[in-house]
Amino acid sequence: MMRGKLVSESALDNQRQAVRPEDLNDQGTVFGGHVMSLTDVTAAMAARRHAGRPCVTASIDSLHFISPIYLKEDIVLYATVNRAWKTSLEVGVKIFAENPYNGERRHVASAYLTFVALDENNRPTAVPPLIPDTYAEHRRYEEADQRRAVRLKLRKQK
């Protein structure tokens, strides 16, 4: 049996990137696709840390944009593995815009992504169980199972 891992062992906190002019759309805010890319990369890093192997994005459940991000702000991302199943895992990402001069932060987006771990032959392979420790981790663990049930139900309908 594979050793379980605590949520904190694979969590990524404070991943950051300065907003550059080329990241902006014609409204002067960061392209949503740029935020999506940073979200996917950050989530993949957390998934890989948990699985101890390469992981590929299987789905992005939801990416909710709450507020725009502007030039001269930093994008700050936090990613945690919410649940691990047999070969897949869910990663939650919270995205913030931060004023680099005073540290003020705004929550600007959130997302849930599912990853599949791959073996040497690029086939799905087992991932370690996740061990939630705090109340919030237990809540996210249970909610991830509910989101997975919805995903599987939708897949069967297609």
For residues 105 and 51, what is the distance between their CA atoms, to the nearest angstrom? 31
At 1, the pLDDT band (50, 70, 90 cuts) reads low
The helix or strand, by DSSP H or E, that contains position 21, with its residue range, turns out to be none
pLDDT for 14-25, tens place per residue? 899 999 999 999
> CA 106, CA 68: separation in Å to the nearest integer?
10
CATH number at residue 20: 3.10.129.10
Confidence of residue 157 (pLDDT cuts 50, 70, 90): confident
pTM over 0.75: yes
Q: Residue 120 sits in which domain range? A: 5-157
Q: In the chain, how many domains are there?
A: 1
How large is the average pLDDT for residues 115-134?
A: 97
